[in-house]
Structure 1
């Protein structure tokens, strides 16, 4: 587990101004410079690299599945593309946390709110109330230390993961919805290094591929300040599953937004997503399950 250096993220340019969500590292740099790991950006060439545009990634989304039948999208990519299991013991890329992390770096801090440690993040907690509507999604992240010898890595039992994502309409709680804090939560990893969250499938908003944000911390006690985190990254969702979900009521805008972005044009995933594409199974009628190995 080495202190990461954020990889450069380019701003996705469209004919219309994209929403102010996750506009890349250059957009978030003023915030990131307040974080401990960003000291590395100030070394020779680091700041220039952070502001540079990223280069091409790989492939398109996975195979197409129906809205009613169970599907299993194995790690993303067209047939023949590398999946997460094929890419060895590399560390998951460091990414921007976006403008709405609510980790204390730019205003709200969900990490210090009573009730944030939970597995079901569909509802608001603390003094807030409300429930996020959408197709059910359960996602699990398994944190492994790959800094030693061997490809498999060692499970980081006791690590903590803070996860957050937008709602069915593409809005983030504590920012777009100031009176809500749903779709945010912290979990402590079990003996296998795994945390599991019950949530809803996030929307696709303008300019970004569908994704889930997360931060990894050494322990639950450390997960109260962003300065303690070991890694910030994002989970990508397979195209076939997104298309099935977005064909349902409530996700109508996501249909148009998904048509306007690809993994190759996305400002986060365009330089490679093999380590970030989740394996997803399930169906619209029964809900979906996503899993991702998080090597740090």
Structure 2
């Protein structure tokens, strides 16, 4: 069973056949990303400002952990999550904010992230129909950090690749300082940035070409992409920097 089939069956059982149809058509979608992502100059795209003030202080959308969550997150307390993975340099800055305190920064939150490598594969899994390549014995591109006084966590990584049926994304799981789960969500990328990487960064190993599913056709992001697109700046040669606010109820 391919990952696209997992997504069809998992979401279809929850949302019905209507939820499956948009994803099936995603591979041939010719639409462009929504206006919530705007290009401000070469190598720069801005996403949502959710949580930037008390006036837009809404809890970030809750999303599935997906079929490849980190098995023991506490084992991966590290900011550099690359391990042996290569690709375009990528700095991930995530700010955790508390909706119960007018979106003030939340310090002391435990923040786990994980994403696929440039070829679309996850560590800790594989050797099955869900992912043919076996990476069960390695743990690349997974990490945990504790938010600082400004609510910030920072990770050093590589720009994620994509796999069929999903727009490129990062998984995020936020806990409070006592380990209570506050939110599982996902971060989307501006299409112009990801398309640039996937179509022009062959020298860095991105050889699959353009993603087959855009944010508005992705059955995770399609209902809430306006609050899930990050701001991404930089270039292929210099690397990219992602900035994103995650709002939780703490």
Q: Any conservation in 1 of the 2:4–2:164 contact (CA below 8 Å)?
A: no
Counterpart-to-counterpart distance in 1, 2:227 and 2:72: 27
Residue 215 of structure 1 is matched in structure 2 by 173
Superposition map of 1:158-237 within 5 A: 158-176=108-126, 177-219=135-177, 222=179, 228-237=180-189
The gaps in structure 2 that reach 5 residues or longer are: 23-32, 127-134
Residue 101 of structure 1: which of 69, 73, 81 is its match? 69
Superposition map of 1:262-277 within 5 A: 262-277=214-229
Counterpart-to-counterpart distance in 1, 2:154 and 2:11: 28
Which secondary structure does the structure 2 equivalent of 1:93 belong to?
coil
Q: CA deviation at 1:89?
A: 1.1
User: Please, what is the CA RMSD of the aligned residues?
Assistant: 2.8
Which secondary structure does the structure 2 equivalent of 1:187 belong to?
strand
- Answer with 266-275 or 280-289: which moved more: 266-275
Residue 72 of structure 2: which of 106, 110, 135 is its match? 110
Counterpart-to-counterpart distance in 2, 1:254 and 1:60: 23
Residue 136 of structure 1 is matched in structure 2 by 89
Residue 19 of structure 1 is matched in structure 2 by 3
Residue 251 of structure 1: which of 206, 209, 233 is its match? 206
Q: CA deviation at 1:19?
A: 2.7
Counterpart-to-counterpart distance in 2, 1:232 and 1:21: 22
Count how many residue pairs are aligned between Structure 1 and Structure 2. Answer: 223
Q: Any conservation in 1 of the 2:216–2:225 contact (CA below 8 Å)?
A: no
Q: CA deviation at 1:160?
A: 0.8
Counterpart-to-counterpart distance in 2, 1:144 and 1:112: 22
More helix by share: 2
Residue 82 of structure 2 is matched in structure 1 by 122
- Answer with 243-252 or 197-206: which moved more: 243-252
Q: CA deviation at 1:61?
A: 7.4
Q: CA deviation at 1:100?
A: 0.3
Deviations 1:113-167 (A, max 9, x none): 3xx10100001xxxxxxx011101001111111124x4xx111100010000000
Q: CA deviation at 1:280?
A: 0.5
Q: CA deviation at 1:51?
A: 3.1
Counterpart-to-counterpart distance in 1, 2:219 and 2:112: 22
The gaps in structure 1 that reach 5 residues or longer are: 1-16, 30-47, 77-82, 103-108, 124-130, 223-227
Q: CA deviation at 1:22?
A: 7.1
Residue 51 of structure 1 is matched in structure 2 by 15
Q: Any conservation in 1 of the 2:161–2:206 contact (CA below 8 Å)?
A: yes
- Whether 1:147 aligns to 2:94 is no
Counterpart-to-counterpart distance in 1, 2:232 and 2:223: 22
- Whether 1:72 aligns to 2:44 is yes
Q: TM-score, normalised by structure 1?
A: 0.68
Residue 56 of structure 2: which of 88, 98, 105 is its match? 88
Q: TM-score, normalised by structure 2?
A: 0.80
Change in Cα spacing, 1:179 to 1:70, as seen in structure 2 (3 Å) is farther
